[in-house]
Each structure stands twice: as structure tokens, then as C-alpha cells.
Amino acid sequence: MKLKTIYASLKNDLSFIESELEQTVNAHHPVLRDASNHLLKAGGKRIRPVFVLLSGKFGDYNLVLMKNVAVALELIHMASLVHDDVIDDAEMRRGKKTIKAKWDNRVAMYTGDYIFARAIELVTELKEPSANTILSNAILEMSIGEIEQIKDQFNWDQNVRDYFRRIKRKTALLIATSCELGAVAAGASKAEQRHLKQFGYYVGMSYQITDDILDYTGTVKELGKPAGGDLLQGNITLPVLYAMNQDNKKHEIMDIFSKELNTSQEKVNQVISIVKSSGGIEFSQRISDRYLQKAFNELDQLPSQSARTSLRQIAEYIGKRKH
């Protein structure tokens, strides 16, 4: 099933969110406007707003209130991408030049700060302090996750547990927060808030593992950037962690990286081959599937309705996507 088909029932609400997103970043300073709009135009799946809206369907769904949360969550995601680009020296994001590449690092950092602050401002409009607490906590944890990722770069002694903790903070938490805040904004019951949050967490884990698999298996066309980008930056993800646990693969991989003869891309290509032949891709896929299954189990605790079906379809899509 295509994402577009799943989104169909939300089509009008999502167009509204899209125009609100544009208005939000357009409201202020020209330089910021250019920078934010550039990012906005680069698109994205708007997964977080969709999770906000669908979670809101379990309570008293009011688009005017839901909008604040949906836009805020997408803004936080955008801000984290902007700051990621400053950090990763990434020249490409979603196939377009990054803000950093187009303007410069310093503007990118403050654009990120600005977008974070706009997001918080929006959620404050709910007049529900717990929503602000949840949101600021998500930003906190994301920052820690990013610092952990930096610390763990090219650290060949890390284990799978480090990886899971990192992607929880880096990705899963914001999707969990999207579901939770959607439920909070709509006044869903505490139990529903909890199940939706857990659902979002499991989907988020699966989402990031899929992302990390695609970085090994994807083409430039699918990813908007060459495969092996994570390795190139020293980000050690599940597929290679699995490979490193097989026989002497750990030393083989470390040897490749310590060789002086090869270019970085050649090193990365060699490691990709090892990971593929070791079964690291299939292993990671199994783990991703297991998280998806846990996500489905959470959905089973929620009342049966079309929003629940849509959440399930999106979760399935996420586990099988190619980009």
C-alpha cells in the first residue's frame, strides 16, 4: 500500500497543516524565511503530523488544536535536521542541498534554534503545561542522543545496546511524542495516551532500523545520497554491529578502516559487502519486524476504528519502505 493511499482520509487536514507550516516559518525575518522555506520545500513524509492527527482521533478531535501540535512536531523534526546538517557536514538531504550548504553553518544553527522556539510557542497555545513538559523532554533527549552519536562515532567497541539507546533518543522518542501529544491535545484517556506513546516508540525504533538498513542497501535514486553515508561518518548501526559479532569480521572491518591506501568510499564499499554477506541486513530486518509486531500489539489495546487501521498501515509501510 502506498503512503498516499493511507494518507487519503487525512488529505484536507494535511493540506491545512502544510499551509500552517508555511505560515509559521514565513512569519518572521527574511533570512530565516528563506532558510526555513528551503527546508520546507525539500518535502519529507510528514510522518510526525500524521501520527499526531491519527492519535487525536482517539479523543475529541479538533483540528484547530491538533494543528498546533502537528505543526510543532514537524518543526522540531525540521530543526533537528537543520542541526544535524551543521554537524554531519552533510551536503545533501532528501536530494536537495542542505541549508548549511546553501547558506552557511552559522545561519543554519540559529535557524534550528528559531524553529525549535517556534515549535514550543505553538504547543504553549494548548494551555496544557504537561504538553510543554513532554515536548521539552523530547528535545532534551534528542540532544543527548545526538551527543551520544558523536561520542560513539568510529567507536568499534560499542554494542547493540548502545545502538538501541541511541536510536531511541535520536528517533523513536519524537515519534512516541507525536502520538502521545496528539492524544493529549484531543483529551484521550490516560490509557490511550500510554498505548499510543508506546506504539509510536516501537514504530520509531522500526523506522530508524529500516533507515539504517537502507543506508546499506539503497541506491542514490532511492536515498537522495550515496549508500554507506553512515559508515563514512563513523556511525555504526545495526547491520554492521551484527556483522562485527560474526567470526573475525570485527578485525576485518577495523583493518579496512585503518588502511591508508584506500579512499573512504572504497573502504565503505568493502564494509558494505562484508555486512551483506554476513547476514547483517536480514538480522536487522528481523529486529525491525519484531518492533513492528510490538507496535501492532499496542494498537490491539486501542478501540477499533479507522484511525487504528491507518496507524497499522503506516507502521507496515514504514517497515517495508525503500526510501
**Cell matching residue 16:** 491545512
Identified binder of its own copies from the candidate list 58, 61, 116, 207, rule CB under 8 A: 116
Least distance to its own copies from the beta carbon of 132, Å? Answer: 4
Confirm or reject binding of residue 1 to its own copies (CB under 8 A). no
Count residues contacting its own copies (CB under 8 A)? 40
Calpha distance 323→321 (Å, rounded): 6
DSSP 106-151: HHHHHHHHHHHHHHHHHHHTT--HHHHHHHHHHHHHHHHHHHHHHH
Considering only residues 126 to 185 of the shown chain, the ones binding its own copies according to CB under 8 A are 127, 129, 132-133, 136-137, 139-140, 142-144, 146-148, 150-151
Non-local (6+) Cβ contacts of 291 within 8 A are 202, 203, 205, 206, 209
Least distance to its own copies from the beta carbon of 27, Å? Answer: 10
Confirm or reject binding of residue 107 to its own copies (CB under 8 A). yes
Strand partners, 96: 93
Calpha distance 191→171 (Å, rounded): 23
Confirm or reject binding of residue 121 to its own copies (CB under 8 A). yes
Calpha distance 202→288 (Å, rounded): 9
Contact track, its own copies, 27-56, x by CB under 8 A: -xx-xx------------------------
DSSP alpha helix (H) spans, the chain: 3-7, 11-26, 30-41, 47-56, 63-88, 99-102, 105-124, 129-151, 160-167, 173-185, 190-217, 220-223, 229-232, 238-244, 249-258, 264-278, 280-300, 306-320
Asked if residues 202 and 294 have their Cβ atoms less than 8 Å apart, the reply is yes
Non-local (6+) Cβ contacts of 202 within 8 A are 172, 291, 292, 294, 295, 298
Task: Mark the segment that binds its own copies (CB under 8 A) among 6-14, 37-45, 82-90, 177-185.
Answer: 82-90
Confirm or reject binding of residue 74 to its own copies (CB under 8 A). no
Residue with Cβ nearer its own copies (28 or 322): 28
Least distance to its own copies from the beta carbon of 262, Å? Answer: 25
Confirm or reject binding of residue 118 to its own copies (CB under 8 A). yes
Task: Mark the segment that binds its own copies (CB under 8 A) among 59-67, 81-89, 246-254, 309-317.
Answer: 81-89
Least distance to its own copies from the beta carbon of 317, Å? Answer: 30
Least distance to its own copies from the beta carbon of 257, Å? Answer: 20
Binding site for its own copies (CB under 8 A): 28-29, 31-32, 83, 86-87, 104-107, 109-114, 116-118, 120-121, 124-125, 127, 129, 132-133, 136-137, 139-140, 142-144, 146-148, 150-151
